[in-house]
Amino acid sequence: MVCQDKISAIAASADSFIVGRMSGQVLKFGLPYIQLESKMMCRTRPQQLKLNCDSTKFSIIDINGILSFFDMGD
């Protein structure tokens, strides 16, 4: 089985990590149980992801080089 929506970027902190997909979807997983906590859609493909120290906000640099900031909304 081949995945059509490949991973384009990841970022991690002490209590969670986020995965950016080629479709623009960003998934947040909680640690240590690797449980899906939230999903969100971005308009373009993430090239680089960064989380702040308490995992409440993250930034994306997309394939066009545009920096955007997002609130995780938890």
> Whole-number mean pLDDT of the chain?
91
What's the rounded Cα separation, in Å, for the pair 18 and 11?
5
- Could you name the CATH architecture of 7-71? Beta Barrel (2.40)
All structural domains of the chain with their residue ranges: 7-71
0.75 surpassed by pTM:
yes
Mean pLDDT confidence for 48-68: 92
Partnered with residue 61 across adjacent β-strands are: 48, 67
- pLDDT over 60 (residue 73): yes
What's the rounded Cα separation, in Å, for the pair 27 and 72?
10
- The Cβ of residue 31 has, within 10 Å, a number of other Cβ atoms equal to 13
pLDDT (tens digit per residue) in 30-46: 999 999 999 999 888 99
What's the rounded Cα separation, in Å, for the pair 46 and 30?
20
